[in-house]
Amino acid sequence: MLGSTSKPLAGRVVLLTNANHGVGLATANLLASAGADLALTVDEEVLDASFLNDLRRLGGRVEMYRWPSSASAVDCSRLTRSVASSLGRIDVLITNARHRAHWQVDDVDVDEEALERQYATTVRAVMLLVRSSVRFMESGARIIALSASLADRVGAPGLADYAASKAAITAFFRGAAHDLGPRGINVNVIQLGAIRTELPGTSRDDLNAEMQSNVLKRLGTPEEVANAILFLAGPSSSFITGSVLNVDGGYNA
């Protein structure tokens, strides 16, 4: 069931990963205001969960789960079963992977574990979570991936592995749109430009350089990303699937 115009996500259950900071937190606040019930994952080391009280004051149900960023199939299955048990089902899945390593492809000191960590976080865990979530989805559900619009389109020193992982997710979600379309499940990607938030492995100089490459010549805000997510999560996007929405200040214009 889709909500009213004022509460477009009323009655909808949203599973959002990495929800305690930056884009994730802004998204949680906006979706709660839109009437959603929230299942939020946070980093395992997060101790301060006071932000949950602010979300609950907005009226919906809010559950928090500590979840490893490089989750296994067992982790994903346990998480989605817990969400479905507590909140009934999963209507919207939003994957918000946070890991960005910098290393040159000719750097012989980077070991295989570093490469595996990159893919475990940004590719494998996302694929496994999608697979686990669809068991608890019905027609009208949404799956949304947050990615990086710069990484898989423009080469940059030290980011070859990161770019490859982001390209893999875009390709995976396009394929998933074909697999899940007959079930009425929409699958889309939001690719981000330079956003005013903290991403592990990204410096202020990195963001400023990316900002100078976009048309608007400024950083985006987490709230602007959250608005794009709300659009794809809500009823207005019912005929959009397999698409990539750029929230990048015109970097790809």
The confidence score (pLDDT) of residue 1 equals 47
Do residues 7 and 72 make contact, with C-beta atoms less than 8 angstroms apart?
Answer: no
CATH of domain 13-247: 3.40.50.720
Sign of the dihedral through C-alpha 117, 123, 127, 133:
positive
Q: Burial code of 108-135, b = ≥16 C-beta within 10 A, e = fewer?
A: eeeeeeeeebbbbbbbbbbbbbbebbbe
Q: Is the pLDDT of residue 241 over 50?
A: yes
Tell me phi and psi for residue 198, to 5 degrees.
-100, 120
Q: Is the pLDDT of residue 102 over 80?
A: no
246 versus 207: the higher-pLDDT residue is 246
Locate 170 and state its tokens: 């875009």
Average pLDDT of span 153-179: 87
Q: Is the pLDDT of residue 202 over 60?
A: yes
d(CA 152, CA 109): 24
Tell me phi and psi for residue 127, to 5 degrees.
-60, -45
Residue 47's contacts (CB-CB under 8 Å, 6 or more residues apart) are none
46 versus 227: the higher-pLDDT residue is 227
Q: Is the pLDDT of residue 149 over 70?
A: no
Half-sphere exposure of 27 (CA within 13 A, CB side): 33
Average pLDDT of span 134-162: 85
Q: Is the pLDDT of residue 200 over 70?
A: no
Percent of the chain at pLDDT exceeding 70: 89
Q: Is the pLDDT of residue 2 over 60?
A: no
Percent of the chain at pLDDT exceeding 90: 62
Sequence ranges of the domains in the chain: 13-247
How does the average pLDDT of the chain come out, rounded? 89
68 versus 86: the higher-pLDDT residue is 86
Going by C-alpha positions, the residue among 169, 146, 176 that lies closest to residue 242 is 176
User: Among the ranges 14-23, 63-72, 90-99, which has the highest mean pLDDT value?
Assistant: 14-23
Q: Is the pLDDT of residue 101 over 70?
A: no
